[in-house]
Structures are given as C-alpha cells and as structure tokens.
C-alpha cells in the first residue's frame, strides 16, 4: 500500500498540514480587521489536507519513463538547496529589514540564482511586487506587515 512514493509524500504532507492547522488554531483573533488573521492559514491547512488525500488515493500506474523522471540531477538539487537556503535567509531577515526591503532583495537575488537574464525586468518586478502586496495588505485588508528599517 505504501510502496508508491506519492503515497509516502502524501502522508508526510498530511502530517505537516495537521501541525500547520494546529498552529493556525492557536493564532489570536482580532476584531478590527476585515479578514481575521487566522483565516488564510486555516484555509491553506485544510486545502493541503484535501490535496494530500487526493494524492494518496491516486492510482499507482507509473511507467518506467515516469520513474526515470523522479531522479533529480545534481544541478537541479543544487538549485533546490540554494533556493531553500535563500528562503531561510528571507525568513531570518523579514522582521529585521522589513517586508518590502527583504522581499525586493529575495526576488532579485533568487531570480539571478535561478538564471533569469533580464535584469532590468527582474529589478522592476522585485520592486513593484512587494510594494503592491504591502499596499494591498496594509491599506485594503488592514493587515500589518513588518516595516523593518524603512520609516513606513
């Protein structure tokens, strides 16, 4: 029953989702915002459990070509580990530098690391996307994000 790798992955994802939901139900409620702070984490946790169940009950009819695709080349493994480390650095500096600044740096550095060549486009996206998200969350939804060292 658990020989198929997708079933093992689905069980791990369900365990992560259960822990995530447990943490989401521990978040405090605030009455002065349109959407409560625990709404999105709860929705995402339930969605992850539903998708994990779908993955678990998918039929196991893997072809040899699909088994070969499961092998990750070393260059791709390097990219995965590097991106994971960049995410950890992002999390560490989020409160210190603030959402806008650390998101700009993360998007630009990550796009460079992943090999995107249009640096001007990357810079524009790295500036506009975090600023837009910050304005949406703070102005429209009334949810504060870390401002860090910027006087916002």
Confidence at residue 109, expressed as pLDDT on a 0 to 100 scale: 96
58 close to 6: Cβ distance less than 8 angstroms: yes
Residue 91 has pLDDT above 70, yes or no: yes
Using CA atoms, how far apart are residues 91 and 135, in angstroms rounded to an integer? 20
- Kindly calculate the radius of gyration of the chain based on its CA atoms and give it in whole angstroms: 20
93 close to 150: Cβ distance less than 8 angstroms: no
Confidence at residue 120, expressed as pLDDT on a 0 to 100 scale: 96
| Tens of pLDDT, residues 4-52 | 788 899 999 999 999 999 999 998 877 777 777 788 899 999 999 999 9
Residue 79 within any structural domain of the chain: yes
Using CA atoms, how far apart are residues 76 and 67, in angstroms rounded to an integer? 17
Confidence at residue 143, expressed as pLDDT on a 0 to 100 scale: 87
Q: In 3D, which of 99, 152, 151, 109 has the Cα closest to residue 129? A: 99
Residue 67 has pLDDT above 80, yes or no: no
Residue 150 within any structural domain of the chain: no
Residue 146 within any structural domain of the chain: no
Name the pTM for this structure. 0.65
Confidence at residue 66, expressed as pLDDT on a 0 to 100 scale: 73
Q: What is the DSSP letter of 136?
A: I
Instruction: Sort residue 148 into left (φ over 0), alpha (ψ -120 to 50) or beta.
Output: left
Number of domains in the chain: 2
- Out of 17, 36, 68, a domain closes at 68
Confidence band, pLDDT 50/70/90 cuts, at residue 74: confident
Residue 147 within any structural domain of the chain: no
Query: What's the domain range around 27?
Result: 5-68
Using CA atoms, how far apart are residues 50 and 42, in angstroms rounded to an integer? 12
Residue 127 has pLDDT above 80, yes or no: yes
Confidence at residue 49, expressed as pLDDT on a 0 to 100 scale: 97
Residue 144 has pLDDT above 70, yes or no: yes
Residue 1 has pLDDT above 70, yes or no: no
Residue 145 within any structural domain of the chain: no
CB neighbours of residue 76 within 10 Å: 10
Mean pLDDT of the chain: 89
């Amino acid at each position: 029953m658990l020989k198929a790798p997708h079933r093992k992955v689905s069980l791990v994802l369900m365990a992560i989702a259960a822990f995530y939901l447990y943490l989401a139900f521990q978040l405090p409620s605030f009455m002065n915002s349109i959407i409560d702070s625990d709404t999105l984490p709860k929705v995402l946790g339930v969605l992850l459990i539903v998708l994990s169940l779908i993955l678990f009950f998918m039929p196991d009819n893997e072809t040899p070509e699909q088994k070969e695709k499961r092998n990750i080349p070393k260059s791709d493994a390097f990219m995965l580990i590097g991106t994971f480390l960049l995410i950890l650095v992002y999390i560490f500096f989020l409160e210190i530098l603030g959402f806008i600044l650390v998101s700009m740096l993360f998007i630009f550095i990550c796009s460079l690391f992943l090999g995107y060549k249009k640096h001007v486009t990357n810079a524009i996206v790295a500036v506009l996307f975090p600023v837009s998200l910050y304005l949406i969350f703070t102005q429209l939804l009334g949810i504060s994000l870390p401002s860090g060292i910027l006087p916002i």
